[in-house]
Amino acid sequence: MSAPKKRIAYFYHDEVGNFYYGAGHPMKPHRIRMAHSLILNYGLYKQMEIYRPLLVEDETMTMFHSDDYVHFLQSVTPDNFNDYNRELQRYNMDVDCPVFDGLFKFCQLYTGGSMGGARKLNQGNADICINWAGGLHHAKKSEASGFCYINDIVLAILELLTYHQRVLYIDIDIHHGDGVEEAFYNTDRVMTASFHKYGEYFPGTGGVKDIGVNSGKKYSVNFPLMDGIDDQSYQSIFKPIMKKIMETFQPGAVVLQCGADSLAGDRLGCFNLSLKGHAACVEFMKSFNVPLLVLGGGGYTVRNVARCWANETGVLLDKKLSEEIPYNEYYEYYGPDFNLHITPSNMENHNTKKYMEDTKIELFECLNSLPKPSVQIKQTPHRIDLESKIMDSKESNPDVRITQEMADKMVTDSREFYEDEKDQDKETTKVPMQIST
């Protein structure tokens, strides 16, 4: 008998592609709109529930971030940033993390998709949730970092911890997932696993001996990699390590950050993965049948980012996409061949078999010494409260309240991709359980 078809919720807001970091900046939110266009034109939307994320309020962001930092993000604009010289330095707002028009709303949108996905998983209304706008893994409690301002991943994990005793975070971005690791470095309720370029490379953290502290000791797993890793080498470490982690940690939910800068030919990257090699990680984690939140992340060759995330949406839906890219509003980006898949280069793989095997053995030894997990605690999933924590304050009517059943009806009809203005009702989340960070 075949396994039941997975229920997949997809979060996308039509405004997310409008934001612009500035001339010459490698981070292009436009790539999310390009990926969405491919998802539509491949017909993948027909097999998913499509949700428009609501805007996360500042109060929700302070479940992880400091009050003064969130207030600063709310207040600073390109017109007044000269009045905030001391704060700009304090919060690491510089060339990498510029002040741009609509900055705070951008943070509200991408975080809303990730927290909305976590909530859907907690409620049991989906098996897999996708938010390609999320995955901004470098943001810290009180500072921006690496193009990231609000750490939607940490907030989504805190939401998952209100229902699940243990949550696993996996990062296949080329950069170390330092912001998420740091947030949960001293707890055994969240395990982080990151496969990343290490050495003279941003952010410079994530050595194999960085394993956590106090209660979190051995719950941070880092596999430092060198230039040129290819599909075969990557899978030779990813699959056995993740299989071991799933066996030993036994998470109740998994968050997978799918940064596409680990692909061959990325503008800022130095790995040599194909779309198939990258997607193999997604397919492998899906096979464990654990509630799964799939997020975006890095990726700076925008045509390949769109290819990657559209293809991985297909993988999650068990749908093989045609090699010929369907006509869409960004069709010219994919020339001259207009094919879905990319060809890795002939760059040298500096990750020797001995290095890979030695590092894998060291990580296995650490994982083998983990205590056996306690029985998974089953809690009653909390319901969204009636007072708003996630809302669009300008578009919402503060006197209108919605029930959970009404919120669930916000899924878009297959003939439409966005809700009407009248659907911008308020929604709230219960404050997640705080953990020591």
pLDDT in tens, 37-66: 999 999 999 999 999 999 999 999 999 999
202 pLDDT exceeds 80? yes
pLDDT of 2 = 61
- Tell me the mean pLDDT in the region 409-431: 38
Catalytic residue selected from 65, 138, 175, 196: 138
In degrees rounded to 5, what are phi and psi of residue 292? -130, 125
What's the sign of the alpha-carbon dihedral 319, 114, 196, 203? positive
pLDDT of 83 = 97
Q: Report the alpha-carbon distance of residue 35 to residue 50 in Å, rounded.
A: 14
Tokens of 14: 């039509």
Q: Report the alpha-carbon distance of residue 254 to residue 326 in Å, rounded.
A: 32
Give 129-150 pLDDT, tens digit per residue. 999 999 999 999 999 999 999 9
pLDDT confidence bin for 371, thresholds 50/70/90: confident
Q: Report the alpha-carbon distance of residue 216 to residue 317 in Å, rounded.
A: 34
Q: What angle do CA 311, 112, 139 make, to 5 degrees?
A: 85
pLDDT of 4 = 77
Reported as half-sphere exposure (CB side, CA atoms, 13 A), residue 250 has a value of 10
393 pLDDT exceeds 60? no
Active site residue 175: no
Q: How far is CA 418 from the centre of its chain?
A: 22
Least confident stretch, 69-78, 158-167, 262-271, 375-384: 375-384
Q: Among all chains, which residue has been given the structure tokens 């990657």?
A: 308
Q: What is the mean pLDDT of the chain?
A: 89
